[in-house]
Amino acid sequence: MPSGLFHENYSNDERIFQTLWVKGWLWVFILFLFFGFPFIVSDLNKILRFNVLHTAILTGIFVIGAHGINILTGYTGQISLGHGAFMAVGAYTSAILMTKAGFPFILSLPCAGLLTAAVGMVFGVPSLRLRGLYLCIATLAAQFIIEFTIRRWTGLTGGTQGMFVPYAAIGGFIFDNDKKFYYLVMVLAIATTAFTKNLFRTKPGRAFIAVRDRYFAAELIGVNLFKYRILSFGISSFLAGIAGALWAHYISLIIYEQFTIHLSIKYLAIVIIGGLGSVLGGIFGSIFYVGLEQLLEVMSKELSASFPLLITYFVSIKEIMFGLIIILFLIFEPDGLAARWRTVKAYWKLWPFSY
C-alpha cells in the first residue's frame, strides 16, 4: 500500500479531488452549509452577538466577486481598480430591468452579468496596446467614468437618491427573508467556486496563467494576448456583475456611494489577504474581511459603554485597521491565507515527524 499520494498518470494528477478523503470532507462541508448552518444560526447569534446569517450572506456575495477579481488580477496578472464600478453595473442593470422593463429575476440576473461583462471588455480594450501599470490606470478611469454615469443619469438610476430594488423571485417563490436569500447566495457561490476551479483546467485558463507569468513568451508560443486579456476581463466582470446584482437584491436600496473606489480597493485587499491566484484564497479572504468588519462593529458596540469615545473614532479606527492589516499581510504573508492553509495542512499530514 502506498504511504502517500503518488500520481501514476496525468489524469490522476489533474483531478480536482486528489483523495476520496478531501472529496468526502467537502461534501460534509456543503451539506453543513445547507442543512446544518441555517438551523444553528439563532444559537450562534446569541454566542457571537452579531447577525451571523447576514454575515454569511455578505461573505457569499463577496466570494463570487472575489473569484471574479482573482481571475483577472490573480490569474491573468492584471491589477483592476474598477471592480467596484463593475459591481455597480450589475446591481443597477438587474434593478432597472426588473423595475422598469418588468423582467423576471431569473432573466435579469444573467443579463446583469452579461452587460457587466460587455462593459468590462470595453474597458479591457486598451490592453491591446498597454502593459502593466498603464492598464491599471485604465481600470481606474473605468471606475470614475462608470461612477459618474450612475450619479448623473438620474432618470435611469435615481442618481443621488438611489433606487429601490424588488425582492429576488424565481417562479412564485420570493426570496424575502435572510434565510431564503442565504440558500440562493450559497448555491451561486458554490457554482462560481466550481466554475473558477475548473476554468484553470481548460485551455483559456492555462492561457491566462501563461499571460500572467510571461506574457511576452506566451505571445511567442502562440497565445493571443489580446483575446485572452479581453476574455479575462469579460469573465471577471461577469462575476462582479452577478455579485453586484445579488447585493442589490439583498440590501434592496442601492446608491452610487456603495460602489466607489473604496469597494474596488476592498476587493483587491480581499484577494491579497486570501491569496492571489488561488481559488481558496478568494473564499478565505472574503470570510476574513467580512468577519473582521463584523467583529469591529461588535467590539465598538460592546466597548462603547465603557469607552464612549470609541463610537466617534470608529470610522477612523476601521480605516487604520484596514490599512495596517494589508501592510502586515504584505510584509509577513505575501501569499495570503491560502498559503498559510497549505503549510498547516502539510504540517499535519506528517505530524509528529518533521519530514
Partner 1 sequence: MGERFYHTLGWILLASFVGVLAYLCTLNPTKFLELSLYGLVLGSIYALVALGFALIYKSTSILNLAQGEFLMVGAYICLSLILQFQIHFIWAFFITLLFSVFLGLAVERLVLRPLIGEPIISVIMVTIALSSILKGMVIMFWGNDIRPFPKDIPFLAGKPFPVFGVPMAPIYIWSFGLAIFFLLLFAVFFKLSRTGIAMRATASNQQVSQSMGISVKKVFAISWCVAAVVSSVGGIILGYISGVGITLSFFGLKVFPAVILGGLDSILGAIIGGVTIGLLENYSGGYLDHIIPAVKEVFPFVVLVIILFIKPYGLFGKEEIERV
Q: Name the residues that contact partner 1, by CB under 8 A.
A: 73, 79, 123, 126, 129-134, 136-138, 140-141, 144-145, 148, 152, 214, 216-217, 220, 261, 265, 268-269, 272, 276, 313, 315-327, 330-331, 334
CB closer to partner 1 out of 119 and 184:
119
CB closer to partner 1 out of 16 and 122:
122
What span, in angstroms and rounded, lies between the C-alpha atoms of 123 and 234? 10
> Look-up: residue for cell 483523495?
19
Q: Give the CA distances from residue 38 to residues 32, 91, 215, 299, in Å, rounded to whole numbers and listed in that order.
A: 9, 26, 45, 24
DSSP readout, 181-224? Answer: HHHHHHHHHHHHHHHHHHHTTSHHHHHHHHHHH-HHHHHHTT--
Beta bridge partners of 253: 164
CB closer to partner 1 out of 41 and 263:
263
Structural contact between residues 164 and 269, judged by C-beta atoms closer than 8 angstroms: no
DSSP readout, 264-293? Answer: HHHHHHHHHHH-TT-HHHHHHHHHHHHHHH
Minimum gap (Å) between residue 190 Cβ and partner 1: 28
Minimum gap (Å) between residue 330 Cβ and partner 1: 5
What span, in angstroms and rounded, lies between the C-alpha atoms of 82 and 93? 17
Closest CA to 130 of 208, 214, 225, 212: 225
CB closer to partner 1 out of 60 and 84:
84
Minimum gap (Å) between residue 304 Cβ and partner 1: 16
CB closer to partner 1 out of 324 and 350:
324
Minimum gap (Å) between residue 118 Cβ and partner 1: 16
Minimum gap (Å) between residue 281 Cβ and partner 1: 13
| CA quadruple 71, 74, 80, 82: dihedral sign | positive
Minimum gap (Å) between residue 225 Cβ and partner 1: 11
Structural contact between residues 28 and 22, judged by C-beta atoms closer than 8 angstroms: no
CB closer to partner 1 out of 188 and 230:
230
Minimum gap (Å) between residue 266 Cβ and partner 1: 10
C-alpha cell at 33: 452549509
CB closer to partner 1 out of 44 and 225:
225
